[in-house]
C-alpha cells in the first residue's frame, strides 16, 4: 500500500520554448501521437497507485481542466455514431482518478507552483510530476520512487536522478552526495542550473519527486533564485542539508516535451514502440533517412 496518495502536476508555466504553438494551447496538452502529454503523466501516476491528482494551471490554460472533465455532447455523438471504442477512450480519461484543479495566479516558478497545492495536499507526503516530462517504461517510474520512499521515514524526500553531459548542467537542478548503493544517493547539496564549470556533479534532477509535507513551510520561506523564479530545488537543498533527500536512478527513458526537439524525440520513441504504428513509422523513418540521411 502506498502511503502517498496525491500527485501534484504543475502545468501553469508559460511554455515560451514552444511558442507560437503555446500562445493558445497549453504545452501540456500538445499531442504526443494521439494523446496529450499530460495524459501519459496521469496514466503513470494511476499505474503507480496514486488516487488523486492536483493539477496546477493558470490563466489561459482552462483547456487542461476541460480535458479531464466529462463532455456530454461529444459522448452522445460518439454513442449515436457507434464509435464505441473511441467513446471508451474518452470516458477513461475522466474516470480513472480524481483530478482537482488549482490556479497559480502568477507564474513565479516551479517552487511557487508546488506551494499552491498546500491546502489540497494536507499533511501527507505527496508526489510531484512535472507536466511536460514523460518517462516511457513498462512499470511506472514514479512507482520506483514511491518504493524507495517506502523504505525511509516519511519526513524524507526522494528525487529522480539522471546523468547528463557536463555542458547540459545549466538546464537542470544538479545534486552532489554519496552513493549508498548502485541506485541511491544520499544528497548533500543541490544547485539549480549551475554553469558547467561550477556544477558539483552530472547528476540532474528530473521531473519526479516524492516530498514530505513540511516542504510547504520551506517553500514559503524560499526567495526567488535562478531566473528570478522560486525554485523547488532551493527548497529541497534545505532538506538535503538536514540529511533528508535521497536521489535515485529510475527505470525508463525520460523525455522533456517542453521544447521542439524533445517533443519530436518523445514522439519517435512512442511511435517506434506502438504496435499499431511501428511498422509504418519505420518506413517513414527509412524514407526520411534515405532523402536527408546525414543531414548534409
> Per-residue contact track with ligand UTP, 106 to 135, x per CB under 6 A?
-xxxx-xx----------------xxx---
Determine contact, residues 209/232, Cβ cutoff 8 Å: yes
User: What is the distance, to the nearest Å, from the Cα of residue 72 to the centroid of all Cα atoms in its chain?
Assistant: 29
Residue 14 near ligand UTP by CB under 6 A: yes
Q: Check whether the bond before 20 is cis (ω within 30° of 0).
A: yes
Distance in angstroms (rounded) separating the CA atoms of residues 98 and 123: 18
Distance in angstroms (rounded) separating the CA atoms of residues 84 and 196: 53
Residue 193 near ligand UTP by CB under 6 A: no
Instruction: Choose which of 140, 143, 177, 258 interacts with ligand UTP (CB under 6 A).
Output: 258
Residue 42 near ligand UTP by CB under 6 A: no
Classified as helix, coil or strand, 66 is helix
Instruction: Please give the grid coordinates belonging to residue 106.
Output: 502568477
- Closest to ligand UTP by CB, 28 vs 234, is 28
Stretch 73-112 residues interacting with ligand UTP (CB under 6 A): 104, 107-110, 112
- Closest to ligand UTP by CB, 10 vs 247, is 10
We find the least distance from the C-beta atom of residue 145 to ligand UTP, in angstroms, to be: 17
Stretch 56-75 residues interacting with ligand UTP (CB under 6 A): 56
Residue 205 near ligand UTP by CB under 6 A: no
- CA separation, residue 141 to residues 20, 133, 134, 161, 278 (Å): 31, 12, 10, 11, 23
- CA separation, residue 267 to residues 12, 44, 130, 257, 291 (Å): 23, 17, 18, 9, 20
- Judged by CB under 6 A, the number of residues near ligand UTP is 21
We find the least distance from the C-beta atom of residue 175 to ligand UTP, in angstroms, to be: 18
We find the least distance from the C-beta atom of residue 67 to ligand UTP, in angstroms, to be: 14
- Closest to ligand UTP by CB, 38 vs 145, is 38
Instruction: Please give the grid coordinates belonging to residue 236.
Output: 529541497
Residue ranges that bind ligand UTP, judged by CB under 6 A: 10-17, 28, 56, 104, 107-110, 112-113, 130-132, 258
Amino acid at each position: 500500500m502506498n502511503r502517498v496518495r496525491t500527485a501534484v502536476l504543475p502545468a501553469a508555466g508559460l511554455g515560451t520554448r514552444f511558442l507560437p504553438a503555446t500562445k493558445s494551447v497549453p504545452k501540456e496538452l500538445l499531442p504526443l501521437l494521439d494523446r496529450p502529454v499530460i495524459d501519459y503523466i496521469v496514466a503513470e501516476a494511476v499505474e503507480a497507485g496514486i488516487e488523486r491528482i492536483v493539477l496546477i494551471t493558470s490563466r489561459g490554460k482552462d483547456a487542461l481542466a476541460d480535458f479531464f472533465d466529462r463532455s456530454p455532447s461529444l459522448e452522445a455523438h460518439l454513442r449515436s455514431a457507434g464509435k464505441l471504442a473511441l467513446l471508451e477512450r474518452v470516458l477513461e480519461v475522466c474516470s480513472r482518478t480524481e483530478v482537482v484543479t488549482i490556479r497559480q495566479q502568477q507564474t513565479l516558478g516551479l517552487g511557487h507552483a508546488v506551494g499552491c497545492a498546500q491546502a489540497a495536499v494536507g499533511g501527507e507526503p505527496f508526489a510531484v510530476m512535472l507536466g511536460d516530462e514523460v518517462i516511457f517504461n513498462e512499470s511506472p517510474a514514479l512507482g520506483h520512487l514511491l518504493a524507495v520512499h517506502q523504505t525511509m521515514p516519511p519526513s524524507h524526500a526522494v528525487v529522480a536522478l539522471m546523468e547528463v553531459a557536463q555542458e547540459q548542467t545549466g538546464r537542470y537542478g544538479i545534486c552532489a552526495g554519496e552513493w549508498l548503493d548502485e541506485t541511491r544517493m544520499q544528497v548533500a547539496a543541490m544547485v539549480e542550473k549551475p554553469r558547467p564549470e561550477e556544477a558539483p556533479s552530472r547528476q540532474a534532477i528530473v521531473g519526479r519527486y516524492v516530498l514530505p509535507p513540511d516542504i510547504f513551510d520551506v517553500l514559503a520561506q524560499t526567495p526567488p533564485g535562478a531566473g528570478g523564479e522560486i525554485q523547488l530545488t532551493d527548497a529541497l537543498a534545505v532538506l538535503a542539508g538536514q540529511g533528508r533527500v535521497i536521489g535515485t536512478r529510475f527505470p525508463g527513458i525520460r523525455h522533456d516535451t517542453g521544447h521542439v526537439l524533445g517533443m519530436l524525440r518523445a514522439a519517435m520513441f512512442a511511435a517506434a514502440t506502438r504496435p499499431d504504428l511501428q511498422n509504418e513509422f519505420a518506413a517513414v523513418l527509412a524514407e526520411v533517412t534515405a532523402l536527408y540521411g546525414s543531414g548534409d
